[in-house]
């Protein structure tokens, strides 16, 4: 199947999707690099690093392995990777390859964007969720006060997506990845949403999965091409993230996956949209689908005040006001400014509603 091409302000890059493409990584590294640093986490490295290192075959090719999980999107690991890059002698003609899920893509991409003021990097996503994170050039690490607060826009030189690697994902990670697909469908494509809501995550076929990934990636690619630096439409890709990011921070990074947090955030955005615009959105079908696929949805012990405070450090804040992505209808996202009082009251009614269902 054809590559998807994304145009960024600095260059265009191809997203190659297919089974076993990881064995051909060398073919996609088209430029001559002085050295290559492959960054991965322990789980992914054990499964796939050899395939990549064997394909690259080069002398100056190194592997850095970081611990698994969201806690690695951290300033200490960021610094450690810089140290490893320096020790291996990476220079401005070197390449970083991010082999893993969104954590590795965001972390290694941010290292690439800052090492010697920026070197090339390639994304080799290995999770369903990373269909989103590997495209569009948002790279970042977390601050203890909020998600992705330290980062930049830095597009990769290529994305090489081997769908065979997705076969080893746990059910939890399948769920997590599908939450971002649901988000893309909600903001751009009602027919895609209906098809996702008919999908049983526990009996996904490879063909179905690849079709979903291609559709999600095309939605994302179209948006980031139009608005690379998030001055307008790109904000819509943050649907569900105002609450989602706050939950990840409040519960402690890694306690809940990014996608699980976004799933709850999507329900919250729909709840607010329905009340604000007196519109009927697919809250119930989505809730039913989340339950059927075992998404964790329990907010009974959550500290509302603390969540609200975290939401106030969201990157979309303008003039101290929270900007939430809402929906006027499926496929019709909009940005709505909310004051603290309104947000608190929506959050309260949402938690009550979710706890009673």
Ligand X SMILES: O=C(O)C(=O)C[C@@H](O)[C@H](O)[C@H](O)COP(=O)(O)O
Ligand Y SMILES: NC(=O)c1ccc[n+]([C@@H]2O[C@H](COP(=O)([O-])OP(=O)(O)OC[C@H]3O[C@@H](n4cnc5c(N)ncnc54)[C@H](O)[C@@H]3O)[C@@H](O)[C@H]2O)c1
Residue 136 in contact with ligand Y, rule: CB under 6 A: yes
Q: Is 165 annotated as a binding residue?
A: yes
Residue 70 in contact with ligand Y, rule: CB under 6 A: yes
Active site residue 226: no
8 A C-beta contact, residue 270 and residue 281: yes
8 A C-beta contact, residue 247 and residue 256: yes
Q: Give the C-alpha separation, 174 to 176, whole Å.
A: 5
Residue 204 in contact with ligand Y, rule: CB under 6 A: no
Residue 148 in contact with ligand X, rule: CB under 6 A: yes
Active site residue 180: yes
Q: Give the C-alpha separation, 55 to 36, whole Å.
A: 12
8 A C-beta contact, residue 154 and residue 113: yes
Q: Which residue is nearest to ligand Y (CB)?
A: 102
Shortest Å, Cβ 277 to ligand X:
22
One of 65, 85, 103, 307 touching ligand Y (CB under 6 A): 103
- Selection from 84, 106, 102, 103 nearest residue 94 by Cα: 84
One of 96, 108, 201, 237 touching ligand X (CB under 6 A): 237
User: Whose Cβ is closer to ligand Y: residue 51's or residue 70's?
Assistant: 70
Q: Give the C-alpha separation, 196 to 267, whole Å.
A: 16
- Selection from 240, 242, 272, 245 nearest residue 257 by Cα: 245
SS3 115: helix
Active site residue 76: no
Dihedral sign of CA atoms 209, 262, 254, 354 in order: negative
Out of ligand Y, ligand X, none, which partner does residue 101 contact, by CB within 5 to 8 A per kind?
ligand Y
Residue 102 in contact with ligand Y, rule: CB under 6 A: yes
- Selection from 286, 281, 290, 302 nearest residue 347 by Cα: 302
Active site residue 241: yes
Active site residue 292: no
For 177-204, give the DSSP string.
HHHHHHHHHHHH-HHHHHHHHT--GGG-
Shortest Å, Cβ 70 to ligand Y:
5
Q: Is 88 annotated as a binding residue?
A: no
The one segment of 28-36, 95-103, 207-215, 321-329 that binds ligand Y by CB under 6 A:
95-103
Q: Is 222 annotated as a binding residue?
A: no
8 A C-beta contact, residue 258 and residue 70: yes
Binding site, residues? Answer: 102-106, 126-127, 138, 147, 165-168, 180, 241, 258
Catalytic residue positions, numbered: 117, 138, 180, 220, 230, 234, 238, 241, 245, 258
Q: Summarize as ranges the residues that interact with ligand Y (CB under 6 A).
A: 41, 43-44, 47, 68-70, 73, 100-104, 106, 126-127, 129-130, 132-133, 136, 138, 147-148, 165-166, 168-169, 173, 176, 180, 257-258
């Amino acid at each position: 199947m054809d590559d998807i091409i994304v145009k960024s302000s600095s260059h265009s890059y191809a997203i190659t999707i297919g089974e076993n493409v990881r064995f051909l990584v060398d073919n996609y590294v088209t430029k001559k690099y002085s050295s290559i640093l492959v960054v991965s986490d322990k789980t992914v490295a054990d499964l796939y690093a050899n395939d990549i290192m064997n394909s690259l075959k080069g002398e100056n090719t190194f592997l850095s392995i970081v611990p698994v999980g969201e806690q690695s999107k951290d300033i200490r690991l960021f610094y450690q990777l810089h140290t490893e890059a320096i020790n291996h002698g990476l220079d401005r003609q070197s390449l970083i390859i991010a082999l893993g899920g969104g954590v590795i893509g965001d972390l290694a991409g941010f290292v690439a964007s800052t090492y010697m003021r920026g070197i090339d990097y390639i994304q080799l996503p290995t999770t369903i969720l990373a269909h989103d994170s590997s495209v569009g050039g948002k790279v970042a690490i977390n601050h203890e006060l909020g998600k992705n607060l330290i980062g930049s826009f830095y597009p990769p030189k290529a994305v090489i997506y081997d769908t065979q690697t997705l076969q080893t994902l746990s059910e939890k990670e399948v769920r997590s990845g599908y939450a971002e697909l649901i988000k893309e469908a909600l903001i751009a494509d009602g027919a895609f949403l209906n098809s996702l809501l008919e999908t049983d995550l526990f009996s996904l076929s490879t063909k179905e999965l690849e079709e979903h990934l291609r559709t999600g990636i095309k939605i994302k690619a179209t948006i980031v091409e139009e608005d690379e630096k998030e001055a307008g439409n790109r904000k819509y890709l943050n649907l569900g993230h105002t609450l989602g990011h706050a939950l990840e921070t409040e519960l402690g990074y890694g306690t809940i996956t990014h996608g699980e947090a976004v799933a709850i955030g999507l329900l919250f955005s729909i709840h607010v949209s329905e009340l604000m615009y007196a519109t009927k959105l697919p809250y119930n079908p989505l809730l039913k689908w989340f339950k059927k696929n075992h998404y964790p949805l329990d907010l009974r012990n959550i500290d509302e005040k603390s969540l609200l405070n975290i939401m106030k450090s969201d990157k979309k804040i303008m003039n101290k006001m929270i900007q939430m992505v809402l929906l006027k209808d499926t496929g019709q996202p909009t940005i709505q400014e909310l004051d603290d009082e309104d947000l608190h009251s929506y959050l309260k009614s949402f938690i009550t509603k979710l706890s009673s269902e």
